[in-house]
Structures are given as structure tokens and as C-alpha cells.
Structure 1
Amino acid sequence: MNFTDIGIFDYLGMILLILIVLAAILFVTAIGLGYYLINKNKILFPKLSLYITNNFYSILLRIFLIIGTEDTFYKVASDFYNKYYCEDFKKAKNKVLILPHCLRDLKCPGKLGPDGVECVFCGKCPIGRVIKVAEENGYKTYVVPGSTFLKRVLKDKKPDGVFAVACHNDMFHGMTFLSRKNVPVQGQLLMKDGCISTLVDVEELISRLKNEPC
């Protein structure tokens, strides 16, 4: 190998590095543009965006961490799913509402049954109120202790639309799972997570259940 060969390799390496940097810049720009369009109720290349989000989210997350936080990425992705499946969800006839058991009061008297936690409407937490509104508007509600219950609901109840309340991480992975199953989904993030005594914007949730979910 002579100096000319080394120079060529250095030159090729520099070109490759420049291409990688340009690709990263374009990708970050695309994410920023996508977020802007989502806020404007528009999606750029919806089918392609859905495919990438469903299958390459780990890569998207790593790139997104350059300009934001992990929770922000999950929020952007959840907003995307909400917008993408909005019209299909409105057409659903067999809708279910999935609530996390962590919304319960610490002294909740409800017991865990085959379909999740059975609310007794004691008034210690907002779950009972939300369930009543949901059922008045055509939803069957399940208060679940984990993601495996979601899979059971899909298998046993075969809903054609799922509305879920969850923390950022669980929401994203749950919506991705449902999207891969071609089940229209809507989601509302918790205001406070932590797996115990969590909080959700109850008024916003009730409004979405009563009126337009998206």
C-alpha cells in the first residue's frame, strides 16, 4: 500500500462521514417537520411514516434523543398515531377503553378479576366516573394491571377500536402493537406516572369520550 492508497481511503472516509452527517441532519429535520405538521393536523407521507414508526422506532428514538427527551419522542409518536387513526377510530362500532390500574386510590376496594380490576364505584378515584361516561358513549371499559391484559382483550373481545390511557412508554409500545394489528387506536397520556397514584386530565378524557376522540 502506498501513500496514494492511504490518501484515497482518507478521502473516501471523509465522504462517508459527510454523508452520514447530512443524513442525520435530514432525518432530524424530517422529525421536526413531521412534529410541526402533526400539530397542524397534517401528516407527511402517512403510509410511509406509519411503516417507519411501526418498524424502526428504536432508530428513530436514538436520533430523536439528539434534539429531545425520550418522553418527548413517545409523545410525538403517540400524537402521530392519534392523528393517523382518527377517522378509522370514529367509525369503530366495538370500542374499548383501557385504563391503567395505577389510577386507583391506594385504598381501592376493587378486586382483580378475569377482565381486570372490577370497579365498585366507591368514588375514591376518578375511574368510576370515567367508566360511566365511557359506557354511556359506547365503550366497554377495562382497568388493567399490565400489557398482557390488552392482548387478552384483543383476543377475547375483538374490538375494532381501542382508546387507551397510559404513561409515555406504555402508550407508545401499546399503540405500536395495536397499529401492527391494524386496530385503530387513540390514546391519552398520564399527567403523572410512576405506577402508583398516577393522574390523568379527567375533564379532557371525558370530553374526548363524549365528543370527538381526536
Structure 2
Amino acid sequence: MSLLNPYMPVITLVGELTVLIILSIVISGFILLILAAYAIKSGNLLFPRFMRAGLLFLEGLMRALFRLFGFEDSDFLKIIVTLQNTLNRKAFMAVPISERAVFIPHCLRSNACPAHLHDEGLKCRECGLCRVGEGKRLLEILGYRVFIIPGSSFIKRMIKRYHPRAIIGIGCLMEVKEGVEMSTQVDIIAMGIVNLSDGCVETTADWDQVFRIAVLGIDPKDVPDEMIKYLE
């Protein structure tokens, strides 16, 4: 024991610092949980930068706290996507339409879809069997480059080919979260829109939200009449 005596102040300090760090993490976790619960219930985000950094840095702890207090994993993922959209909104609005792209998942199409796969994704024939054709038409009127893609490899290929500075990604919750995070890593401004229903075929997109985001930063006189209602 006498051998440790000279080091006891250091050992004590390290122990106290460890306890303080653990307490700080736990307290931060509960603060984040309260902010997230408020966002889920009210739809309003408080301190989005702090929330995003904290939720990602403490992701394991936060997922456990979410489950402990009766929230689903999907609630956690939705908060992450919403935070990223909120933080990207201003930068997205500043990007010209000519430098934006929209990626639509092929799972939205009808089971009887007559479209064929090309090197840039599915070539929509606007047959009217689903809403993809109409959505694509309106987005292209705005000036977007629109791709209907069967997988993430097509997204990477089109980004490499056309170098968009900003994208709108539509898909299931996990795909959107991963896509937004991937876009951040390659310095692309991404806005994610989660489908209203999941699955492999005939899923449902939140087209109202797609159009609300699509018209951000666009001069109202350049917005077609059928999309005026989405201007804020």
C-alpha cells in the first residue's frame, strides 16, 4: 500500500474525473431525451445543432433511453432525419435548381409498371398507374434532374456523373438516414423524405412533403400553378 501512496492524489483525481464524465454523459442523455420527446410530441425542434451532435455522439445510449421510456427506434431515426433537414434547409435553398437532383426509389411504382431499366435508372413512361410519373413531371418542370433508382449504387453513379450540390432523397426510414449521413461525408446538401409506408413494392411517398422541400429557394414566379400551395 505504501508504494501507492505517492500516486494516491492522481488516482483519486482520475476517479473523480471518471465519475464526473459518466454523470455528464447521463445528464446530457436525459436532456437530449427531453428535447427529443418534446420534438416528437409538438413537432418543434429546440437547439437542433446540440441535439444532432448529442444524438449521434451518444447514439447507443440514446437508443437505450428511447426504448426504456417507451419510444421506438423509428422515433430516434425520424428525429435524426428531421434535425438534418432543419440544419440543411438554408444551405439547400441557396443552391440553384440546375445543381439539384431528386432520387426516387423504384419501390414507389405500380406492380404493373411498364418502365424499363436504363443506365440512369428506370425510364418512367408516365402511364398513370402510380404517382411517380406525375411527381417526376412536376419536379422536372421546376428544373430538377430526377432519377428513379433501384439501389444506392445508382445514386453514387449519378452523383459522380452529374455532381449535384444538393439532393432530395426519398425512401424508407433507414435508407434516408444512411443517405443523408453519406451525403454529409461527401459534402452534398441532402434533404431526406421518409415514405409513408415501407416495403418492396407499391410503397407510398409523402409527395406533399417532397413538393414542399422541392420549392424551397425557388422564385414564386417559376413555380407551376399546381405547386403554388407548397410555397411557404
Q: TM-score, normalised by structure 2?
A: 0.74
Tell me which residue corresponds to 1:5.
Answer: none
CA contact (8 A) 2:101 2:146 kept: yes
CA–CA distance in structure 1, aligned partners of residues 57 and 180 of structure 2 = 12
Judge conservation of contact 1:96–1:161 (CA < 8 Å) in 2: yes
Q: Distance in 2 between matches of 1:154 and 1:89?
A: 16
Structure 1 stretches lacking a partner, 5+ long: 2-12
Question: Are 2:132 and 1:127 aligned?
Answer: yes
Structure 2 residues not aligned, in runs of 5+: 2-14, 218-230
Pick from 78, 85, 88 the counterpart of residue 75 of structure 1: 78
In structure 2, what is the equivalent of residue 9 of structure 1? none
What amino acid maps onto 1:174 in structure 2? Answer: G
- What is the CA distance between 1:87 and its match in structure 2? 0.6
Q: What's the Cα RMSD here?
A: 3.1
Distance in 1 between residues matched to 2:115 and 2:57, nearest whole Å:
38
Correspondence for 1:192: 197
Give aligned-pair identity as a percent.
23
| Structure 1 residues 55 and 41, CA gap change in structure 2 (3 angstroms) | closer
Cα displacement (A) at 1:33: 1.6
Shift in Å at residue 22 of structure 1? 6.7
- Residue from 60, 63, 69 that aligns with 1:61: 63
Shift of residue 75 of structure 1? 0.6
The equivalent of 1:99 in structure 2 is 104
Instruction: Check conservation: 2:88, 2:189, Cα contact below 8 A.
Output: yes
- Give the match for residue 25 of structure 2: 23
CA deviation after TM superposition for structure 1 residue 144, in Å: 0.8
* Alpha-carbon offset, residue 156 of structure 1: 1.2
How many Å apart are 1:74 and its aligned residue? Answer: 1.1
TM-score normalised per structure 1: 0.79
Give the CA deviation at 1:202: 2.4
Task: Determine which structure has greater relative contact order: mean sequence separation of CA pairs < 8 Å that are 6+ residues apart, divided by chain length.
Answer: 1
Q: Distance between the aligned counterparts of 2:59 and 2:150, measured in 1? A: 25
The whole-number CA distance in structure 2 between the counterparts of 1:29 and 1:51 is: 13
